Structure 1
């Protein structure tokens, strides 16, 4: 298989050889068809959203010194990341992470195991994204109860949905980062032949250990990533049908503690086949028929030096698919790995508008099926034995236009979830009863029927403002990891203990929002309150363990920190706000300022203390200039100290983050533009520790860096 360097060069050469002159009237600022926000399954509904949706466009994605999906979103209001490793930074939304945040690409679930361990990468690279959406609130019902905290949707054109304006169009870019002495690059192109549209993209990234304040480097933070996709669609007057195949590969180190000392790395690969289609009848009660069908294979190996206490014979008992204790050379070997095979399918019908006595009614009904077959190899058979999860669901969305300026939206979803696996029975206190206690697996099957409903009201106000009030009740079934975890996880440095008797968690949420999307002053603010019954949490116990449960002891100096899943009632509440104000405009140039603020508080009910790993208050602002040729911005963000901490946690000191960007765009002709940007990040060289990270006491986030970026649209 071609390396990412060869793939990038091949793509650029192919684009250069095409030589098809586009029409002079085409615009260079939009290289792909516009895609509507996915927060609602009701196509063609009126402007405005019942939920807060954060949208990151292509230009912002490219100028971030991001090495993963979580890096791009790390400083967005209401969003942060796990920051476990440069290649593994999973988004956290309003303090909720892992199995409460669904990650997807064009509506297809990620099909990975990033929710099973903070050290696991998300195989959705920002370099392949046209746009990233973060969807919070009732709209997440469309995607299932596993999105109880929100949805991060990576949108690209890997399955084209419309005919492009030109016979050939695309983008090529490359960047270099001083903080990692590394580079990244990507190329994407669309080619039209009659009613067929062919899409191709490739991307790659090569980074060394990143620089931290004081001129040092954070050990074992190197990263190598590459991937690409090919897609083909047939576009007809009443819809489209298309398919694609994509690949993602990454090799990255795990910083901090023994993992850095042993040079622990993770090598992972994902391959996905996907198909999408839409049909819009010209008559009848159905306005649109949509389907999604995808199959994903995922695998990764965790590689490192030998543990002195390791029991080779024990590990070989569970070798499969070559993932046991295989040697990799140089005294390094594969500790074990994860395999995941998943199906993801959804079918939706949108009915034509119906006139009622209260107003016009628009809506959609859908069904979905997801299956996940998870296998572990080598040592990780002890961490989590093989498990299978099946999810069947039906859902409905309806939107009613009341009096002018008033809209009401309701949604409901019912699921059937079956989780098969096996685990051991742990004694009270999660400590062994004897020095030689062995754990024995017992096969378990858990069935759940989560039910979720939501109701939202949207009201148009003067000065183009919109007020939204939403309420929802969502139930979530526990995952295989929360139920069946039972052992050491090398890369994360934890000894995880699940609870096979966990029940469903449920959350009632009330949210009030005010937004203005047009005019010289634009803003979006939200305040929310959530009450969780049976919240499933993952927290340090204060115990430490070796490779086996019999070695676990209070405190101690074991190489693994013991973390256990539990269930308690909890409350979450917070505020998110962002705004922009145009100060001065002349011609196509605008000078403006921006501001933002967010916080989330999370507490166990009845005075039970704080939940662990909750982000702190953050306040920021900036000045920007946007013009046809020149673009510039200065951004500042202050994160306050986080002293409201969970059990066995330590306080996290706040930090100041300063960034500057200057860019120049040269319009070569009517269809081609070249942009050169220089982006400075963490220019104050602040010590940045993420309060939401398990590694925050051991690992600093990147220090001062400068990124050079060259982009060409054609």
Structure 2
């Protein structure tokens, strides 16, 4: 198996992906699309966690965040099975950019933990998590990293066959659910047509003790159609995709009232590349996308006698967004220090958020515009030394409205009403990054990166001002927030090939004006006038604030080939990660931080079979923020067995059995607002079949 910094995950990989010899198993090379340099070699030291199609298919997760939850350095919000957003080293929401093939998600998932990411794992060929210099290519909203879902909805190269595709289906005992997907491509001359569809139907999932976690059902479907013309000097293509989902919100009153969210998204996208073949410019690329998104939150309500009334729509969110970028890569040229290669670009993003019904009080309509220019350069100092540098300058305009809240976020009058006033904020975040790579003996690589990144606050952080039913919170923004700035450093050491393979990274980040969202200890009803100290109200009050903070931690993972058993190779694996986050001057801990985690596994892989047994222990999380409770640790045991049959003519059939949480442990996620009310899934078995032609 080949590991690229940070990780390629291979809990279950089709045997066709492996080239076996007597010593080890090596994955074929794959382009690092995170790199702004076309043709970048697999040795790139860009910090990238890469999750391939096989482990994505094997996962019982029903959302993008949950697919990545147990990888070193990664976690998920796990608010609901249909709504779980990725967390990177303790950072989430507006610090983690989620995108598909370079296009922003165009959703509302960062505006509330109950909002789904409209990118289903079944539509992904692989997922990249990007940090370091290359993340500046995507904007300061990626201050914590970028999660890029990659598929071929806009083909950029001619396939090796006239017709090719894949069909897969799975059943999950824990949710009594089915899911399936199909993808195909057809070539006619220089034209390539791509199509894909997917769907899932899950009931409430099981939890330890033979129970079900109420209101956790998910129904999702979607698909895309794309077409490209591909020539000798580039390509141009377009696609239209659709995503719909209906999912429940578990825990507390949301489960009692049967709260559900129905969402849909439609995206038009176009991409292209032109390679002149001569002159100073190697290639010019463009991205242009338009997305319409909407969701409605539905559920009952309590009547005066305490019973639950009829279901109705409480309100919802709308987002119309544009996402465009033009990027040029210059030809490599010699300098007195070595060969210089790089790219530069311009980008524009616009989000128009509109709320309806009760959510007009939670977040009034707002508009965000971002203009940016960036540059990324790589200098090859010698055969063993490389230097990377990136810089980005943004212009951010945010227009909306909010109310003026009194000190302490409590009403000064029992009949006090909030009155909106228009607000407009402008920011100019500037960021830069440096990275250094050194090839070492024994096929190792050492890397070091340093970044200074500024981030403008989001509309929700500035203008939130009311109750949010599904999340059970009364959110209070701060329109006076200034830019957030982070100075961070990372050291890494890796070995990608050989019998012993590993990757380890240590990081430290110092935040000037870290924007946080924390429980205040107050609670509220629907109106601000009802807010009072204590927990007697329907909604927990949370407020945005700003305070200096520091984050530091470690991600590490390793594999060792042990022996040949039969026609395959057996080995062991290990992993460890943690993140520590605290406010400056002894002001306490940052809220909702994942715990220390330690894991180990054994595996055996051959040309037709692969099997693994993995164990992960999460320690107690006792370093909590104000008004948070501690979270007990847990143990996860997983088993995977897969078989690949070669059918001839490039066709294969893959079958797998995947067992998750086999110890039936009580699992609570310290990073979730719902962790005291909601257990994560218990013991489950997933049966998976995939046919490739």
Is residue 467 of structure 1 aligned with residue 462 of structure 2?
A: no
Task: Map 1:239-258; keep pairs closer than 5 Å.
Answer: 239-258=234-253
C-alpha distance in 2, partners of 1:138/1:483?
Answer: 28
The answer to whether the 8 A contact 2:572-2:600 is kept is yes
Is residue 110 of structure 1 aligned with residue 89 of structure 2?
A: no
Q: What residue number does 2:338 align with? A: 359
The answer to whether the 8 A contact 2:215-2:249 is kept is yes
Q: What residue number does 2:399 align with? A: 420
User: Secondary structure, in 3 states, of the residue corresponding to 1:59?
Assistant: helix
Q: Please give the per-residue CA displacement for 1:419-453, whole angstroms capped at 9, x wherever unaligned.
A: 00000000001000011100000100000000000
Q: CA deviation at 1:589?
A: 2.2
Q: What residue number does 2:158 align with? A: 163
Is residue 410 of structure 1 aligned with residue 407 of structure 2?
A: no
C-alpha distance in 1, partners of 2:641/2:230?
Answer: 40
Q: What residue number does 2:531 align with? A: 552
Q: What residue number does 1:48 align with? A: 43
C-alpha distance in 2, partners of 1:556/1:89?
Answer: 26
Is residue 401 of structure 1 aligned with residue 380 of structure 2?
A: yes
Q: CA deviation at 1:668?
A: 1.3
Is residue 140 of structure 1 aligned with residue 119 of structure 2?
A: no
Is residue 280 of structure 1 aligned with residue 275 of structure 2?
A: yes
Q: What residue number does 1:208 align with? A: 203
C-alpha spacing 1:538/1:379, structure 2 compared with 1 (3 Å): same
User: Secondary structure, in 3 states, of the residue corresponding to 1:258?
Assistant: helix
Q: TM-score, normalised by structure 1?
A: 0.92
C-alpha distance in 2, partners of 1:196/1:34?
Answer: 26
C-alpha distance in 1, partners of 2:163/2:170?
Answer: 24
Match of 1:682 among 641, 652, 661: 661
User: Secondary structure, in 3 states, of the residue corresponding to 2:417?
Assistant: coil
Is residue 383 of structure 1 aligned with residue 362 of structure 2?
A: yes
C-alpha distance in 1, partners of 2:67/2:446?
Answer: 28
Q: CA deviation at 1:461?
A: 0.4
C-alpha distance in 2, partners of 1:251/1:305?
Answer: 16
Q: CA deviation at 1:582?
A: 1.3
Q: What residue number does 1:638 align with? A: 617
Q: What residue number does 1:60 align with? A: 55
Match of 1:154 among 138, 146, 149: 149
Q: TM-score, normalised by structure 2?
A: 0.95
The answer to whether the 8 A contact 2:465-2:475 is kept is yes
Q: What residue number does 1:180 align with? A: 175
C-alpha distance in 2, partners of 1:532/1:172?
Answer: 46
The answer to whether the 8 A contact 1:52-1:526 is kept is no
Is residue 83 of structure 1 aligned with residue 62 of structure 2?
A: no
Q: What residue number does 1:699 align with? A: 678
Q: What residue number does 1:504 align with? A: 483
Q: Please give the per-residue CA displacement for 1:193-220, whole angstroms capped at 9, x wherever unaligned.
A: 1111100000000000000000000000
The answer to whether the 8 A contact 2:30-2:42 is kept is no
What RMSD, in angstroms, separates the aligned Cα atoms of the two structures? 1.5
Match of 1:292 among 278, 287, 293: 287
Q: CA deviation at 1:242?
A: 0.5
The answer to whether the 8 A contact 1:209-1:218 is kept is yes
User: Secondary structure, in 3 states, of the residue corresponding to 1:651?
Assistant: coil
Q: What residue number does 2:117 align with? A: 122
C-alpha distance in 2, partners of 1:457/1:689?
Answer: 39
C-alpha spacing 1:582/1:418, structure 2 compared with 1 (3 Å): same
Match of 1:594 among 573, 578, 597: 573
Q: What residue number does 1:3 align with? A: none
Q: CA deviation at 1:266?
A: 0.2
Is residue 522 of structure 1 aligned with residue 517 of structure 2?
A: no
Q: What residue number does 1:236 align with? A: 231
Q: What residue number does 1:709 align with? A: 688
C-alpha distance in 1, partners of 2:266/2:80?
Answer: 22
C-alpha distance in 2, partners of 1:76/1:100?
Answer: 19
Q: What residue number does 1:94 align with? A: 89
Q: CA deviation at 1:670?
A: 3.5
Match of 1:584 among 524, 545, 563: 563
Q: What residue number does 1:323 align with? A: none
Q: What residue number does 1:315 align with? A: none
User: Secondary structure, in 3 states, of the residue corresponding to 1:455?
Assistant: strand
C-alpha spacing 1:104/1:461, structure 2 compared with 1 (3 Å): same
User: Secondary structure, in 3 states, of the residue corresponding to 1:668?
Assistant: strand
Q: What residue number does 2:11 align with? A: none
C-alpha distance in 2, partners of 1:234/1:609?
Answer: 56
Q: CA deviation at 1:403?
A: 2.0
Q: What residue number does 1:306 align with? A: 301
Q: Please give the per-residue CA displacement for 1:324-349, whole angstroms capped at 9, x wherever unaligned.
A: xxxxx992110000000000011000
Is residue 259 of structure 1 aligned with residue 238 of structure 2?
A: no
Task: Flag structure 1 segments of 5+ consecutive residues without an equivalent.
Answer: 1-26, 311-328
The answer to whether the 8 A contact 1:487-1:549 is kept is yes
Task: Map 1:423-462; keep pairs closer than 5 Å.
Answer: 423-462=402-441
C-alpha spacing 1:88/1:448, structure 2 compared with 1 (3 Å): same
The answer to whether the 8 A contact 2:446-2:494 is kept is yes
C-alpha distance in 2, partners of 1:599/1:129?
Answer: 27
User: Secondary structure, in 3 states, of the residue corresponding to 1:99?
Assistant: helix
Task: Flag structure 2 segments of 5+ consecutive residues without an equivalent.
Answer: 1-14, 19-27
Match of 1:620 among 572, 590, 599: 599
User: Secondary structure, in 3 states, of the residue corresponding to 1:606?
Assistant: helix
User: Secondary structure, in 3 states, of the residue corresponding to 2:585?
Assistant: coil
C-alpha distance in 2, partners of 1:34/1:295?
Answer: 33
Q: CA deviation at 1:135?
A: 1.0
Q: What residue number does 1:662 align with? A: 641
User: Secondary structure, in 3 states, of the residue corresponding to 1:41?
Assistant: coil
The answer to whether the 8 A contact 1:28-1:670 is kept is no
C-alpha spacing 1:408/1:259, structure 2 compared with 1 (3 Å): same
Q: What residue number does 2:23 align with? A: none
The answer to whether the 8 A contact 2:79-2:114 is kept is yes
C-alpha distance in 1, partners of 2:98/2:672?
Answer: 19
Q: What residue number does 1:342 align with? A: 321
Is residue 604 of structure 1 aligned with residue 599 of structure 2?
A: no
C-alpha distance in 2, partners of 1:195/1:250?
Answer: 35
C-alpha spacing 1:330/1:309, structure 2 compared with 1 (3 Å): closer
Q: Structure 1 residues 690-699 or 399-408, which shifts more?
A: 399-408
C-alpha distance in 2, partners of 1:439/1:227?
Answer: 40
The answer to whether the 8 A contact 1:50-1:470 is kept is no
Q: Structure 1 residues 132-141 or 591-600, which shifts more?
A: 132-141
C-alpha distance in 2, partners of 1:579/1:375?
Answer: 47
C-alpha spacing 1:495/1:138, structure 2 compared with 1 (3 Å): same
Q: CA deviation at 1:118?
A: 0.2
Aligned pair count reads 668
C-alpha distance in 1, partners of 2:265/2:319?
Answer: 9
C-alpha distance in 2, partners of 1:35/1:464?
Answer: 19
C-alpha distance in 1, partners of 2:124/2:543?
Answer: 35
The answer to whether the 8 A contact 1:157-1:199 is kept is yes
The answer to whether the 8 A contact 2:330-2:341 is kept is yes
C-alpha distance in 2, partners of 1:587/1:113?
Answer: 51
The answer to whether the 8 A contact 2:118-2:243 is kept is yes
